[in-house]
Structure 1
Amino acid sequence: MPVEHISTLAVVTNTTEDTKTAMQELWWEENTEILVTLEVLVIILCILGSSGNLITVLAIIFSSLRYNVNCILIGSQSTAGFLYCVLILPMQAFVFHRQTHEMEQSFCLAAGGIRYTLVGVIMLNLSAIALYRYLNVVHIKQYRNMSSGKILFTTIVFCWMIPLIFTIPPSLKLWGSFTFQPSILACTFDVTADGSNRIIMVTLGFIVPCLFIVYCYARIGIAAFQSFKRMSRWNNNNPQSKALKLSGMMLCIFFIFFLGTFPYFVLNVTDKRFKYPIHHIWTTMMGWLLYTLNPVVYTLMDNNFRTAYKNFLVGDCEAHPVRHHSSRLSRGTSL
C-alpha cells in the first residue's frame, strides 16, 4: 500500500478514535436519570409557559387592555413567549428523551433558527416597551405621536422581522450555522462555521438592546427623582403616578429576562468548546423558567391585568370592550 494511503488511513483512524473517545466521555451517558428529570421539567415548563403566555394574549384581546399601547406591546412579547414554549421546549424534551449523540442537521438548522429568532423578538419587544415607557414619562408629546396606529404597527413588525436578518443566514448555512452539540444535548452555534455571525448576533441582539433598555429606565428613574417633591401631591389615579408604576413593572420584566439570559449568553461567548456542559444546561433551564414568570409578574403588580385574567378565566369577557379615555392609543399614559 502506498505511503500516502497509509498516512491518510492513519489520520482517518485517529480522527474516528478521537470522536469515539469524545462520545464515550459524555457526562450524561452514565446519568441518564438526569436526562429523564430534565425532560419532565421541560414538559412542565412548556405547559406552564405556553398556557400563561396564551392566557395573557387572550386576556388582552378580550378586554379594554387591547386599546392600550403598552398592553399591545406586552401582547406581542407574550406571543413570542408562547411560540417559544410550544415550539422550542417540545423539541428539547424530544432531544432529552432520545438521549442521542447525533441529530439530523436539518432539524438543528430549523430549531436553532426558530430559537434565536424568538429570543431576538422578545428582546426587541422589551426594547420597544422600554422606549415607550421612557417617552411616556419624559417626552409625552413624542409618546402620543409614536402611539398612532401606523407607527405602533411598524414598531411591532420591526421587532419581529429584524432578528430574521441574523438567523436566516445560519439556518441556510450561508453565514454561520447551527449544529447539534451532544455534550449539552442542544442545537446551537456551530463552532466550526463562521464565528462572526455569532459575535454580531450576541452584540446586536443582546448587548446593544440591554444597554438601550438600561438607558431608558435610567432616564425614567432620573425623571422620577427630579419629580420626587411633587410625588406627594400625586394620587393613585394620576396619569404620571400610573406611568411610573407601569414602568416599574416593565423594569421588573426586563430584569427577569436579563437574569435568565445573561448567564447563557456570557457562557456561550466564553465557553465556545462546551467544556462545561452542565453550566450550559442550567443557564438554559433558568432562562426557560423565567420565560414563564411574566404572567405572574403582571398578576402581582397590576390590578388591571388581575381583573383581565379573572374575567377571561371565568368566561366574563367583554364582547365589545369600552375604549376608555385613558387607554386610547393616541394618548394613553397608563393601564
Structure 2
Amino acid sequence: METPGWIYVVVTILGIIIAVTLIGCLLTVLAIWTRPVLRKLVNAPLVSLSCTDILSSSFGAPLLIHAFLHPDWEPPGALCWLQSYVTIVLWGASSCHMACIALQRYFMVCTNSVYLKSKRVLFIILLLTWLIPTVSFLPIHVVEEVKVHPKLKRCGLGASPNLWGKIVPSILSFYGPFIATITLYALIRYHVRKSKKRVGAHLGNSSPNNAAEKQLTRMMMTLFSVYTVCYMPLITMAMFSSRVPREAFIVGQVLMALNGALNPILYGLMNRNIRQGYKHIWNSMLNYIV
C-alpha cells in the first residue's frame, strides 16, 4: 500500500516537534538545575513536567511516525502493551501536572500556611501526579487485550467494551485534574480581585520578588491554556472514536505532540530568569565547541 504524500508532511512536522521538544525540555531541566536563581522549590513541577514531555517525545512520537510510514505493521504483543500503557500514563501525568502546578500556585498566592508551601507537601503532590495515572490505568491493561487502534495508529484500549474500566481512570487522570485546575485558577483570580490588600504582599507590590511571583502565575495559567488547546481535542475524540474520521485523529495527535515543544518556548518567553538560563547554556556550549 502506497503511503500518501501528505503523510510525509505530517511525519516531517512530527520530527521537527520531537527535536524541539527534546532540546527545549533538556535546556529547561539544565537551566533550572544549574542556575542558582532558578534552583527553587517553585520550579520543581516544571522539571517534572519537562521529564514527562521528554519521555513522550522519546517513546510515543517515534512509534507514531513508524506507524504512519508502515500502516500495515503490527507491533509485537509486549511492545503493543507497553505502548498503550506508557502512552496513556504519560497523557494522564501531563494532565495531573497541570493540577499540581495550579495547586502550588494556589498555596503560594492564596494561603499564608508555611506547611502548605513546604518541600514535603510539594513532594507528596508530585508523587501523586505520577502515581495516580500509573495506578489507575494498570487494572484495565491487565485484564483487557490491547490492540492497534485503526484510526489512532497506535496500540490502545479504545475498542474495549469495559466502559467503567476506561471511565474511572479517565476521570482520575484527565477530567478530574482538568476541572480541578480550572477551579484553582478561578479561585486565584477571585482571591486577587477580592482581597487586593491581602494579596499585595504576594503580587501587588512593585518589589522584584512580588513581580516575579505575578509573572510566574501568569506563565502557569498560559501553560494550562496551551495544554487545553493541544490535549483536550484528542482526549475528547478518543471517547467518541467511532464517529471521528482518521484525519481528525492525526491532527489531534500532532497537536498533542506540539504541546511538549511549546512548553519550553513559553518558559523562555514569559520568564526572564529561564530565558537567561537558556542563553547561558547555549553560550557555554558554543564556547566549548569553539
TM (norm. structure 1) is: 0.77
Q: Partner residue of 1:60?
A: 32
Superposed CA offset, 1:137-164 (max 9, x none): 11032xx313333332222222112211
Corresponding position: 1:146 with 2:116: yes
**Cα separation, 2, equivalents of 1:177 and 1:218:** 41
In structure 2, list runs of 5 or more residues that go unmatched: 286-290
Structure 1 residue 160 corresponds to structure 2 residue 115:
no
Q: Distance in 2 between matches of 1:183 and 1:274?
A: 11
The answer to whether the Cα contact below 8 Å between 1:133 and 1:243 also exists between their aligned partners in 2 is no
Quote the residue 1:270 is aligned against: 240
| Matched AA of 2:117 | S
The partner residue of 2:87 within 115, 134, 148 is 115
Among 103, 106, 127, the alignment partner of 2:99 is 127
Q: What is the CA deviation profile of residues 96-124 of structure 1, one whole-angstrom value per residue up to 9, with x for unaligned ones?
A: 22221644333221111111111111221
Q: 1:310 to 1:284 in 2, by over 3 A?
A: same
The answer to whether structure 1 residue 199 and structure 2 residue 189 are counterparts is no
State which of 279, 283, 287 in structure 2 corresponds to 1:314: 283
Partner residue of 1:255 out of 225, 228, 246: 225
Q: State how many pairs are aligned.
A: 282
Query: For 1:82 and 1:41, how far apart are their aligned partners in 2?
Result: 17
Paired position in structure 2 for 1:220: 188
User: Cα distance 1:53–1:106, how it changes in 2: closer, same or farther (>3 A)?
Assistant: same
Q: Which residue of 2 aligns with 1:319?
A: none
Cα distance in 1, alignment partners of residues 185 and 151 from structure 2: 39
Q: Which amino acid aligns with 2:278?
A: Y
Matched residue SS, 1:64: coil
SS of 2:137 mapped into structure 1: helix
The answer as to whether partners of 2:151 and 2:249 remain within 8 angstroms in 1 is: no
Percent identity for Structure 1 against Structure 2: 21
Q: 57, 76, 80: which is aligned to 1:104?
A: 76
Structure number with higher helix proportion: 2
Q: Contact 2:38–2:273 (CA<8 Å) still a contact in 1?
A: no
Aligned to 1:326: none
Q: CA RMSD in A?
A: 2.3
Deviations 1:62-102 (A, max 9, x none): 11255322211111111111111111111111212222164
Most deviating of 221-230 and 93-102: 221-230
> Secondary structure in 2 aligned to 1:315?
helix
Identify if the C-alpha distance between structure 1 residues 150 and 123 changes in structure 2 by more than 3 Å, giving closer, same or farther: same
Give per-residue Cα distances to partners, 1:22-59, cap 9 Å, x unaligned: xxxxxxx5652222222222221111111111111111
Aligned to 1:208: 176
Structure 1 residues 30, 59: CA separation in 2 closer, same or farther (over 3 Å shift)? same
Q: Alpha-carbon deviations, 1:133-191, whole Å to 9, x = none?
A: 011111032xx31333333222222211221112323333x2x4532023332222241
Look up the match of 1:20. none
1:169 to 139, 152, 176: 139
CA contact (8 A) 2:108 2:117 kept: no
Structure 2 residue 208 is matched with structure 1 residue 237: yes
The residue matched to 2:160 in structure 1 has which SS? coil
Q: Which amino acid aligns with 2:137?
A: T
Structure 2 CA distance, aligned partners of 1:233 and 1:88?
43
Write the distance in 1 (CA, Å) between the matches of 2:101 and 2:262. 17
